[in-house]
Amino acid sequence: MKKIFRLASKLYFDLWTKGNELPGLSGDKLIAVYSILKYYRDNGIKYYSYKSKNNKNISGYSLLRSKTNLSLHTIEKYVPVLIEMGLCFIDDNGDFVLLGNQKTKDLYNSYKLVPIEIGKNVTDTATNVMLVRVHAKQLEEQKQYRKKLTRSEIISQGIDPKTSAQLKAAKAMSKRFGEFTLNEKTVLSVQGFAVLKHGAENNIKSLKSSGSYWKNKLKKKGLITTERQFTKIEKMSYDYYLQLKNSRMLDNNQLYRKGYLVKETVSTFSTVNNIKEVVSAEKEVKVKNDYKKKQYLQFDMIDFWMNQNS
């Protein structure tokens, strides 16, 4: 049975942003640490200190190490940030106390809760955290396709309009959007994977290298599938292709496939959804003022994940 913790989308945003802003930390790992702590907690909000067999008092960070799958190094690195954010604290008894659900709701009330699958360790869980944004990107691409499909249908009515209203609507739509590509498949470049991992404003030396790494990591874990795409340039023999390649007349993304010189374009991608946990929607009552102008990285579009093949 999968271990799922559901996190308010706005709190997800705050943790991800905070973790990426601090040197040496990761936004995904900060979310992962918080999710793991919430999932394994005792009786709702606390980790209770206790006496070990040799009568040693186990409290504070040592307590978290004994009760979760987090290493002491990870706890010492990330928990102080959570304490600073007011999400937890260590009381006088050495108990580790997490902010209760109701108090968390008062600060981070959201329309949606995001499901985080708790993995075998913090790195595994952090990869599942990233999958949330990849899945959100896929939903956004599908939403854009449906919009473009509607525009295309309206424009096509102008070829043989049945009413003057159809002709007027077709001309207006064509003037506003011009020519556009209609692609049913969802695509994301390797640079796009890097942006989803680190954020658009994070200064990464090599977006391509970082994006390729995280794309392959998600694939190897079986969380996404990808498919390479190619555009035909011209028909030619393989021998002639080798001549061009050896003379360095081709770009790195120009390849030979099935009798054609082709150019590799952006790969398609799709998340492999094995989570059947329904993400609950709730009426928003209180919202932090800061959020009224933020985009939340489109997390609120996530309604639920389910296995498409079940």
Which pLDDT belongs to residue 184?
A: 62
284 occurs within a structural domain: yes
Beta strand 46-47 pairing with 96-98 = antiparallel
Q: Which residue has the tokens 């006496």?
A: 51
Domain count, the chain: 1
Is residue 83, in this structure, part of any structural domain at all?
yes
- Encoding tokens for residue 127? 């990869």
Would residue 198 count as lying in a domain?
A: no
* Residue 147 placed within a domain: no
Predicted pLDDT at 94: 93
Instruction: Check if the beta carbon of residue 267 is closer than 8 Å to that of residue 229.
Output: yes
Nearest C-alpha neighbor of 13 from the set 300, 305, 304: 300
Each residue's pLDDT expressed in tens, for the chain with a length of 310 residues: 788 898 888 899 999 999 999 999 999 999 999 999 999 986 667 899 999 888 899 999 999 999 999 999 999 999 999 999 999 999 999 999 998 877 887 788 766 788 899 999 999 999 999 999 998 888 888 787 677 677 777 777 777 778 888 778 777 877 776 765 656 678 888 888 998 898 876 767 678 888 899 999 999 999 999 988 899 999 999 999 999 999 999 998 899 999 999 998 888 888 875 443 333 333 333 444 444 444 444 443 333 333 323 2
Helices and strands in the chain: count of H runs, count of E runs: 10, 10
Asked if the structure places residue 264 within a domain, the reply is: no
Q: Is residue 239 part of a domain?
A: no
Q: What is the per-residue pLDDT for 23?
A: 92
pLDDT at position 295 is 43
Contacts 24+ apart (CB under 8 A), 184-188: 184/145, 185/227, 185/229, 185/268, 186/137, 186/138, 186/141, 186/142, 186/145, 186/268, 186/269, 186/270, 187/141, 187/229, 187/266, 187/267, 187/268, 187/269, 188/134, 188/137, 188/141, 188/266, 188/267, 188/269
> Domain containing 76: what range?
4-130+276-301
**pLDDT, position 284:** 37
| pLDDT score, position 146 | 74
